[in-house]
Every structure is written in C-alpha cells, then in structure tokens.
Amino acid sequence: MNGKAAIGVLALQGGFAEHINSLQSIGLSGFEIRRKQDLSRPFDALIIPGGESSVIGKLLDELDLFAALKEQIDGGLPVFGTCAGLILLANRFEAINIAVKRNAYGRQAGSFYAEAEMKHIGLIPMVFIRAPYIEWVGPEVEILAVVDGHIVAAREKNILVTAFHPELTNDIRVYEYFHDSIIRPYIR
C-alpha cells in the first residue's frame, strides 16, 4: 500500500469506526463524512458502512448529503458498501444493478459466521449481521462470493458491495482488493 489514497467513510450511523481502523491497518487514511462541509476535503474513494439502511438513508436526506454523493458516485468514485451500505448503493443511489433482499436471514437469529471463497482473494472470514443477500444481478455485475446458494458479494465497475462485514475481522484482504483493483485504477 502506498498510503496515498484518502478514503471518506460515511459516518452517520453504524460501523464506520471499524472501517477506519481497518483502513489504517493497511496504511490508508480514512476520515469521517458527517456533514456536507466534510465533502470539501478531497477523497479518492468512499465506504458506506453497515448499520440500519433506513436510518442512514433518512440522514443522507436530512443532512443534504445525498445529491452531492450521488453525483460523485455516478461520476466514477470508487465505493465500497457493506451490508446496509450494499442496500443503499443498490436501492437509494442506484449505483449497482442488483436486487437485494433485506434482513434475508431473519431479523433476530440472522447473525452468523462463515468462511467462503471470494473471487480474486481466496477463502475469507465473513460476519453476517441481519444481512441482506443479492437475489438478482444485471449482466454487467461480477459475482464475487456465494454462501449457501446466495450471492453475498459483487462488483460493477467502481462499486463493490458485500453483505458481510470485513471490518469486524482481522482479515484485510477485501480492503486490499478494493484498493488495488478499484481505487488505484481510478486515481490519476
């Protein structure tokens, strides 16, 4: 890692602090995006964390962040969305052509751990917390991981999504993949 990429982490609700810690552990600097002024600082990529997608979605509107972020995302900003972030990238930002089933494993008993293959990376630990899964993908979408017959990670161009939480494990390879394969090619 060259440590040069600055990564904004949407910090309205949910697991943003864990993402910033994970980024730090591979030499990338993550900073919190909490309000509109935070967008004036230049950043090379964005992470949308897990949490509650309806709450984050509401705050995006209330804090007047939605339109500015949507414009950057549509313009090719590399974005990594985990869990609620996946839901928002699909349903609110319409940035990745997938259909998502929310709380797909049930609301209460729906948290579990798995180890499964992620394309381009290998076997990785996956923590699921009231997770969605991906029910359908458009033809441009690359399926990156499948657990129990359900798609749990995918990529379309500048957008990477996982239904699980790499920020809750010590395995940093999903971040390395995001950096090396999605951020780096976009930085001039």
Query: 5 or 12, CB closer to ligand GLN?
Result: 12
Q: Is 19 a residue that touches ligand GLN (CB under 6 A)?
A: no
Q: What residues between 72 and 111 interact with ligand GLN by CB under 6 A? A: 83-84, 87, 102-103
Query: With respect to ligand GLN, which residue has the nearer C-beta, 82 or 158?
Result: 82
Per DSSP, the three-state class of 99 is strand
Comparing CB distances to ligand GLN, the nearer of 5 and 130 is 130
Among 18, 19, 83, 179, which one carries the catalytic annotation? Answer: 83
Q: How many residues does the chain have?
A: 188
167 is catalytic: yes
Cβ atoms of residues 16 and 52 within 8 Å: no
How far apart are the C-alpha atoms of 67 and 60, rounded to whole Å?
9
DSSP characters over 56-80 = HHHHHHHTT-HHHHHHHHHTT--EE
Is 83 in the active site?
A: yes
**Residues within the interface to ligand GLN (CB under 6 A):** 50-53, 83-84, 87, 102-103, 129-130
